[in-house]
Structures are given as structure tokens and as C-alpha cells.
């Protein structure tokens, strides 16, 4: 967390800064674990101040700001990172600030309670080396059944585990993998090699349905309340979850089975044994 829907919501939320000129960059004092910032503050400031935000993009679970000088600022929020145009939830965890002239916002703050995220400034060549198709799989919003079969179909891994492989498909994380497989009616422990073409088709269709709806609801704000959009508002997709964090509840699909929780690669998976056989 955040996953593709939350990061896409962040990207759309910061669109008002497109066209703005960066007039100041600063690393804010924070008594908690420092985030990784590459390069260091002097070089970062020298390369971004005076540049304009040309466009926004997303690389899997990362927000990208492309500058008119050809560089890219990459925000990787990991567990608790946020991009905010409004006042932070708690200023204590504000990590870096960009100030602008022009555009539709005066500043952008990267906020990170746990400090696991990072902010990087890369040249176009460095960006391609780091986030090109050799390093990061196709985005989940453009994946087809054929691509899923091509990239995962020969794997012996459980399908839930394989969907989290960012080199195979970019953007799906733990929460949405459970939701996708429930909608597709596929058991999370099934080996990818056992899946038939029709099941890959079901996964592809379910992934698009779940992710696009989650984006429409601006992502999921879980019980810890950490995730917020760029205007410091909660997401709404948590109210649409079918199985995630619902162990013991009745399955909304079959109305007979109970949602179960298992652990796969040290992560919780939620599913219905009755309709995900």
C-alpha cells in the first residue's frame, strides 16, 4: 500500500502543477527515519530549480514528474508516502517541499510517516534503465489475457504471488491481487502453470474492472487512515472491498461461504474457498 489505484489518484491529483516553474526545493527537518533522496540536496536543488513541470506520468507504483530539461522526479511512496497539494496530515512527517510559480498550485509536499519511500531525480536515460520494460513489467491497466499468459503462464508460483511480481506486471499489490482473484473466481494458491486460457481471460477482465473502479473511488483508505489524495481527502474504494481484511464474513459472491485468510510469502491473502476452487 499504496498500489496502482492510489498512486494513479496521486498522479491525477497533482496535475494542477503541470506548466508550473519550480522556484524552490527543500528537504524538511524530520526527527523520524530519513527517506532516501537521490541525488543529495545541493545537486537536486541545482537541477530542478528553474525547471518547469512538463507532464505527469506513473511507473507502476511510482508518480513521475517530467521536467522541461529532460529529467524526471520519481516519487515512490512505498507503505505510507503521500503527495499533497494541501496541508499535510501531520507536518512532522513532511519530507520535501517544492514551491512553484504559475500553474494551479503553490507547492507540493512529499509526506511519509514511516520513511520507507524515496524521491529520485533521474535523467531520461537513467529512467529508461531503471523503469523500462527490461526492469518493470507492462502496466496492469494495459495488460491483456495474452500478456498475462506470456509473462506468468509458465511459472510454478501460486497465481496470487505471481501477480505481485512487478517485473511481470506493474502496479498490482497485495490488496488488489486478493480482490482481482475473488472476482475472477480463482483460488490464490493455484499454480500459474495450471491455469487455462479462459482463466487468464477472467483475471485480465477482473483486473481492469477492479483497478478502474478503485481509481474512480480514488483508492482505498484503510483503518490506519494513512492514505489520502492530493487534497488530503480519504479514498472511497475500501467500502467496495469484496474480501480484503474481511476474514469470517460471508462471501458477497456466493452468499454461502466465509471469507478466509491465509499467508503467502509473509502476506495476508483473503478468499472464499467455496467460489474460488
Catalytic residue (one of 3, 8, 76, 260): 3
* The domain boundary residue, chosen from 88, 106, 131: 131
Q: Which residue has the higher pLDDT, 132 or 72?
A: 72
Contacts of 255 (CB under 8 A, 6+ apart): none
The mean per-residue pLDDT over the stretch 220-236 comes to 92
In this structure, are residues 169 and 60 in contact, taking their beta carbons and an 8 Å threshold?
A: no
* The domain boundary residue, chosen from 131, 151, 182: 131
Query: Confidence class of residue 53 from pLDDT cuts 50, 70 and 90?
Result: very high
d(CA 196, CA 89): 46
96: domain CATH number is 3.20.190.10
Catalytic residue (one of 47, 52, 58, 61): 61
Report the percentage of the chain scoring pLDDT > 90: 92
- Dihedral angle, C-alpha 60, 61, 67, 71, nearest 10 °: -70
Q: Which residue has the higher pLDDT, 225 or 145?
A: 145
Catalytic residue (one of 12, 106, 267, 274): 267
d(CA 208, CA 137): 16
Q: What is the pLDDT of residue 105?
A: 94
Contacts of 258 (CB under 8 A, 6+ apart): 248, 249, 250, 251, 272
Q: What is the pLDDT of residue 88?
A: 80
Q: Assign residue 228 a region: left if phi > 0, alpha if psi is -120 to 50, beta otherwise?
A: beta
Are 81 and 150 in the same domain?
no
pTM of structure: 0.96
Are 160 and 111 in the same domain?
no
The packing angle between helices 4-13 and 197-216, to 10°, is 40
Q: Average per-residue pLDDT in the chain? A: 96
Phi, psi of 42 (to 5 degrees): -60, -45
Q: What is the pLDDT of residue 225?
A: 81
User: Is residue 2 flagged as an active site residue?
Assistant: yes
d(CA 249, CA 53): 47
The mean per-residue pLDDT over the stretch 236-247 comes to 97
Nearest to 136, CA basis, from 214, 82, 74: 74
Q: What is the pLDDT of residue 134?
A: 84
User: Is residue 267 flagged as an active site residue?
Assistant: yes
Q: What is the pLDDT of residue 179?
A: 98
Query: Confidence class of residue 259 from pLDDT cuts 50, 70 and 90?
Result: very high
Does position 1 have pLDDT exceeding 80, yes or no? no
Asked if residue 118 is part of any domain, the answer here is yes
Query: Confidence class of residue 206 from pLDDT cuts 50, 70 and 90?
Result: very high
Are 231 and 266 in the same domain?
yes
User: Is residue 188 flagged as an active site residue?
Assistant: no
Catalytic residue (one of 2, 5, 77, 188): 2
Domain span including residue 183: 140-272
User: Is residue 3 flagged as an active site residue?
Assistant: yes
Q: What is the pLDDT of residue 90?
A: 85
* The domain boundary residue, chosen from 82, 111, 131: 131
Are 163 and 106 in the same domain?
no
Are 171 and 95 in the same domain?
no
What's the number of domains the chain is made of?
2
Q: What is the pLDDT of residue 223?
A: 86
Asked if residue 277 is part of any domain, the answer here is no
Which residues are paired to 260 by β-bridges? 271
Q: Which residue has the higher pLDDT, 253 or 87?
A: 253
Amino acid at each position: 500500500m499504496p498500489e496502482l489505484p492510489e498512486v494513479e489518484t496521486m498522479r491525477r491529483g497533482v496535475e494542477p502543477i503541470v506548466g508550473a516553474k519550480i522556484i524552490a526545493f527543500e528537504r524538511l527537518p524530520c526527527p523520524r527515519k530519513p527517506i532516501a533522496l537521490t541525488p543529495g540536496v545541493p545537486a537536486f536543488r541545482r537541477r530542478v530549480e528553474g525547471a518547469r513541470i512538463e507532464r505527469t506520468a506513473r511507473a507502476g507504483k511510482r508518480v513521475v514528474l517530467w521536467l522541461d530539461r529532460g529529467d524526471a522526479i520519481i516519487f515512490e511512496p512505498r507503505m505510507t508516502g503521500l503527495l499533497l497539494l494541501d496541508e499535510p496530515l501531520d507536518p512532522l512527517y513532511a519530507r520535501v517541499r517544492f514551491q512553484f510559480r504559475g500553474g494551479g498550485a503553490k507547492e507540493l509536499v512529499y509526506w511519509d510517516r514511516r520513511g520507507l519511500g524515496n524521491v529520485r531525480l533521474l535523467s531520461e536515460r537513467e529512467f529508461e534503465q531503471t523503469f523500462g520494460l527490461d526492469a518493470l513489467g507492462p502496466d496492469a491497466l494495459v495488460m491483456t489475457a495474452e500478456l498475462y499468459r506470456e509473462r506468468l503462464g509458465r511459472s510454478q508460483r501460486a497465481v496470487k504471488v505471481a501477480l505481485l511480481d512487478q517485473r511481470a506486471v506493474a502496479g498490482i499489490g497485495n490488496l488488489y491481487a486478493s480482490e482481482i482473484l475473488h472476482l475472477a473466481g480463482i483460488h490464490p494458491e493455484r499454480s500459474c502453470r495450471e491455469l487455462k486460457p479462459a482463466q487468464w481471460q477472467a483475471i485480465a477482465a477482473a483486473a481492469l474492472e477492479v483497478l478502474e473502479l478503485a481509481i474512480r473511488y480514488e483508492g482505498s483508505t484503510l483503518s490506519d487512515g494513512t492514505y489520502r489524495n492530493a487534497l488530503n481527502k480519504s479514498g472511497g474504494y475500501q467500502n467496495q472491498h469484496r474480501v480484503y481484511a474481511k476474514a469470517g464474513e460471508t462471501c458477497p459472491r456466493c452468499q454461502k461461504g466465509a471469507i478466509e485468510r491465509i499467508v503467502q510469502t509473509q502476506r495476508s491473502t483473503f478468499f472464499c474457498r467455496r467460489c474460488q476452487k
